Chains A and B, each alone.
Chain A
Amino acid sequence: MRLCALSILSSLVLFCLELSSAIYADEAYQIDYQHALLGVPQFYTTFFHRPSANSKASLLYTLSESGIVGAKNPKDGTILWRQRIGEEGQTYAGKGFLKAGENSNVIYSALGGKLDAWDAVDGRLAWSWQGEETVRALEIRGQGSNDALIVTEGRNEKVSVRCFSSDTGRLRWEYTDASGDAPYSLIAYESRLFYVALHSALLKGSKIRIHKLDAETGEQTGSPFTFNSESEVSSATSILFAGAIGGHPSIAWADKTLKYVKVASLLKKQTSTLGALTNGEPIETISMHPADRNSAKPHFLLKLTGTSSSHAKVYHLDANTGTAKKEYDLPPISGPVAYSTSTHDENVYFVQHSSSDVSLLSSISPTVLQGWKIPPKAGAQTTDLRSVSHAVAEVVSRGGTKFSVRSALTLESGDLEVIRNGESLWVTSEGLTGVVAAAFVDLTKDDDRAQDLALEGQSNFVSAYIHRLTRHMKELQNLFVWMMDRYDGVKSGEASLNQNANLLQDRFGFNKVVIIATRSGRLAAVSTGMHGKVIWNIQAVTLEPGINWDVMSIDAEDDTALIRAAQGEFLRVESATGKILHHQGAGLLSGLKTTIPVLDAQGRQALLPTNLDGSLGDIPLTSFEDGTIVVTKDDDGTIKGWNVAGKGKVTQAWRFTPFPGQSIYDVNHRPTHDPVTSIGKVLGDRNVLYKYLNPNLILMTCTNTHDSSVTFYLLDSTSGAILHSIKHPDVDLRQPISSTISGNSFAYSLFSRLLSHEPLQLEPQKLQGYQLVVSEIFESPFPNDRGPLNSATNYSSRQPFIADDEKAVRPPHVISQTFFIPGPISRMSTTSTLQGITTRSLLCIAPHTNSLVAFPGQMLDPRRPVGRDPTPAEMEEGLFRYNAVLDFDGKWTLNHKRETLGLSHVIAAPSQLESTTLVFAYGDADLFGTRSSPIGGFDILGKGFSKLQLVGTVAALAVGTMVLAPLVRKKQIDSIWKA
């Protein structure tokens, strides 16, 4: 009987567990949102292409600046496949190659020393080649064969041209050039292959040297020939183009002053000079847009950009003589403009994209074949959301003079937009890749419901009830208006969704704004209530190429957000609009690392400067409250605590230097919003284990490369006292080590080997794998013991309490449990709720599955009984038997079926509902947000709850009662009379 009850109870507990942390099917895709991104598309590696010979529609392929290659559906912008070929956290602007074979389903990408062949339809890797060298050019052989040709440059200027078979990746041939020329390009022409290199001239500049190879065997045919370009070409950037113009191998380069352009035909070895480029104002950049298909006529367009406007000239290359001559001029256009080429049979079309219209031109006449106006974009306040950076277009002839043009525009903001005949199909915020910092910001609404609720929560029961009643009465007056709104919303379809989201936001606090900062200097706000819609997106700072924006933190302050970056840079933006209110540039003071906001004695915020060497700078003329300690981390790996009490006085309170050989890997402190409802843990026998709650705890991860060990220190950051330390030997330091601390518990994950301590085993077993260690900190190992301080209401860590007896200063009691997990955890965090009643889940980013996992808190209780079944008292606490292996349950995956890429950070913020946490994960590529209810949505009605059914039931009951009441009354009277 008892056993039966126990088993029922335990199964109930398990059932509750399963109930709690799963994502319901009807909530998936409803409560979560994702920006699946590829990164900013690059001009030379973005194109429309038919994935296979027999497919009708083409897809949009790109290799982005983030080093991600992928295919998008041009109709709706969904990612069909994507693969990361670059390193995470790197920008590959101007690097990498992407080429598609004609009439085949192979796509080649090359980046660094790697060449990959992908299936164009589904993105599967066909084969891959990795070399020590760097790939300098990629070409496809053509002529019915789709073999990949690459030029690589090794460390000792050894240049190799290699040919790989398209189906297996077998190396067909290799040609080596040890002349020391810098490789530039490969041009395949029929059975020939031109290898273009820059040969340094004697005095200055470079000559363009061309080696002719047999594409079948790789043998050199004939001696190399050169173009005397040394007076113009000083570096590879002077070359505008090297490739086939309508199937005609050519090279074009400009002189240093951009006065003229030279075009050389490789077949005829003929050079023609194209002069008279300028349009009155000096030209700043020249770009060339040639006909890209072999079947097309050898026509090309030169885009000449001046300081205020840009114009274009169209040239024709004579295939017989190899000379180029101007055909016509295009009028100058002020503002950014982008050209793209599209071919149809032998016709060449140029599409001109400006911020307001799209015009289609033929290569033979300057008349506009067809033009479309682009309607102004909604929400594009800043110019970089409107102006086109570069574009690719696809022109389809609809017979006669009718054309259909589809173009993919890359905007200055990095956003990718596809427009068809002037109509915008979709926009994706590709510019929001590479997010380095993000923070939840509350939207302050004019609706003062939150204030009302807070009032009701604080005042006593009766007055709260009266307040609520009056509030509801007031709301009842607005019911009609609200219902009309709803009716309008339902009628207009799409709008109702947004209204609904807006409605939810006020009530449950689900609608917040996540402000994100990217490493390219952009700031954007993503609304959590409107399915992750980007509310605003600005270029906050302009950075030098190759420099990443080092954002330290984003803090919300009322209606504004304060973004602090390295070297003391900070800017304040309006969180609702993105308007920059204040900006202080970097490097105003030398040696300044950052500034931190500290509350002074008057409750105002003062910004304290911290220096690179870990010291505090001059304190502004404010006095801080007694006992304010600023903890800094300096570059040589020490942690220091600074006492800033008093006016203008800074004294070092403590310093933590790791042991020789150790270095600080990571420092974590408790989150700013980390409430704990109960100061103790009630045990099954009604005793209390008191939690050790100290808001100033920091968890430090120190690694030692000499003996591959990791030590975790738990520090009181006001006194610098080490409260606890754990050392893990035999740790693989190349694997991610992540840690988090919240409330009275901390957790970390690493890859390590440890000895098992099973008592039954004679020989200790070495267990190797990814571990997750969960610890809880208590005042004392004994129940009902509040430690030496007992019931004191406050305490000072700097003047520790010393009791008379032996239990003087006692470190807190730490209980830990280790779990084996199937993969690494690159970053962890905990859920955060309004009052901290809900058990916290551990949010983890599992990079091996590219997923966001929320471990339920019950699973990770370090007090789970080991090696035995739980006692009834333990079962009452919800503890169940410890199992060393903790698998990632599919139900814990917050991103469920969604495929995410490059998530590296996760943040959480409370909603107005105690059960629910807003979660946002970001990283190098994707943005993903969802809501999580760690122990189930106990304070909100689920989707399964039908209000209509409830009202219907009540109404039916009322009607039934009204109908039946006279009948019953009659029957009762009759029965009295009959008796």
Chain B
Amino acid sequence: MATKEYSKDEPAPPRWVFDLHNPPKPASKNAGSVSNPPGYSETSVGKRAGSSKVVPRKAPTTEETDTLKIKKSWEIALAPAKALPMNAIMMYMSGNSLQIFSIMMVFMLFKNPLTGLMQTNEVFRRYETEGNKETMLAVKGCYVLMQLLALGLGVWKVNGMGLLPTTRSDWLAWEGERQPLEKAVFAFR
């Protein structure tokens, strides 16, 4: 970011031109409404403090990071299962009638596991290393299972709402009337 130098013989530009070229720094979250003094740059201060004052931590070994990653990925894999009881209660409470809320909830119930399943690899890519490939497969399997469980909850709900064509009446429209081979003509009133 280069601040434009203005030569002395040129007339001083109006203030708004200066403001335009030097927009105020976005206020830091903790700083509140207090603006930084002129010439003070937050980033440069931070960098300087980090590099100079803190003693660098010992870099973790590959095993340690792997364990950490596995731990983290297990957490991610089990997350859908943790949401299941809440979802189940919500579904139970929303009732089996066809209303805008229950329909939206059921839609979400289907959408989340499906997108989750699609993004299985992306979700775990960050934690996947050469070393933990085998364990990761189990984690992924567990994740898929959990998402399927959530999906199952959705199916259960839809069934409860009577939207699954599982009964005879759902297929009644495809059954035709039996045609008689004989035809009677009546000769009385």
Name A residues whose Cβ lies closer than 8 Å to a Cβ of B.
552-553, 594, 596, 598, 608, 610, 625-633, 641, 667, 669, 676, 678-680, 682-683, 685-688, 693-696, 698, 717-719, 783-784, 786, 789, 791-798
Contact = CB atoms under 8 A, between A and B. Distances in A.
A553 B189 contact: yes
Interface string B87-124: 00000000000000000000000000000000000000
B172 interface: yes
Nearest to A625: B183
Given A680-B169, A682-B172, A783-B168, A632 B180 contact: no
B170 A795 contact: no
B175 A679 contact: yes
B187 A794 contact: no
A631 B169 contact: no
B86 interface: no
Given A631-B184, A667-B188, A795-B179, 6 more contacts: A594-B187, A632-B188, A676-B177, A686-B162, A718-B180, A797-B180
Contacts of B169: 680, 682-683, 686-688
A687 B168 contact: yes
A719 B176 CA distance: 23
Interface string B129-168: 0000000000000000000000000000000001000011
Contact of A628 (B162, B178, B183): B183
B59 interface: no
A794 B175 contact: no
B178 A627 contact: no
B186 to A, nearest CB: 5
A680 B172 contact: yes
Given A682-B172, A686-B170, A687-B169, A696 B177 contact: no
A678 B168 CA distance: 13
Contacts of B183: 625, 627-629, 695-696, 718
18 contacts: A553-B189, A608-B185, A610-B187, A628-B183, A630-B187, A631-B185, A632-B188, A633-B188, A669-B186, A676-B177, A682-B172, A688-B168, A719-B182, A792-B178, A793-B178, A794-B179, A795-B180, A798-B182
A793 B179 contact: yes
B180 A628 contact: no
Contacts of A719: 182
Contacts of A633: 187-188
A523 to B, nearest CB: 17
B181 interface: yes
Contacts of A683: 169
A718 B184 contact: yes
B178 A717 contact: no
A784 B168 contact: yes
A539 to B, nearest CB: 23
A628 B168 CA distance: 34
Contacts of B180: 627, 694-696, 718, 794-797
Contacts of A553: 189
Interface residues of B, number: 22
Contacts of A795: 178-181
Nearest to B176: A793
A147 B185 CA distance: 60
Contacts of A552: 189
A718 B179 CA distance: 13
A796 B168 contact: no
A488 B186 CA distance: 50
B187 A718 contact: no
Contact of A696 (B175, B184, B188): B184
A625 B167 CA distance: 39
A795 B177 CA distance: 11
Contacts of B188: 631-633, 667
Contacts of A687: 167-169
Given A676-B177, A693-B178, A632 B184 contact: no
Contacts of B182: 627-629, 696, 718-719, 796-798
Given A630-B187, A631-B188, A688 B181 contact: no
A462 B168 CA distance: 30
Contact of A631 (B176, B179, B187): B187
Contacts of A693: 177-178
Contacts of A797: 180-182
A699 to B, nearest CB: 12
A559 B89 CA distance: 67
B172 A596 contact: no
A629 B187 contact: no
A688 B179 contact: no
B162 to A, nearest CB: 7
A393 to B, nearest CB: 44
Nearest to B173: A678
A384 to B, nearest CB: 28
A31 to B, nearest CB: 29
Most-contacted residue by chain A among B162, B177, B181, B182 (CB, 10 A)? B182
A667 B186 CA distance: 10
B172 A678 contact: yes
A693 B185 CA distance: 17
Contact of B185 (A596, A626, A789): A596
A517 to B, nearest CB: 12
Contacts of B187: 594, 596, 608, 610, 630-633
B172 A628 contact: no
A320 to B, nearest CB: 65
A717 B183 CA distance: 9
A719 B180 CA distance: 12
Contacts of B162: 686
Contacts of B168: 680, 686-688, 783-784
Given A676-B177, A789-B178, A792-B178, A717 B172 contact: no
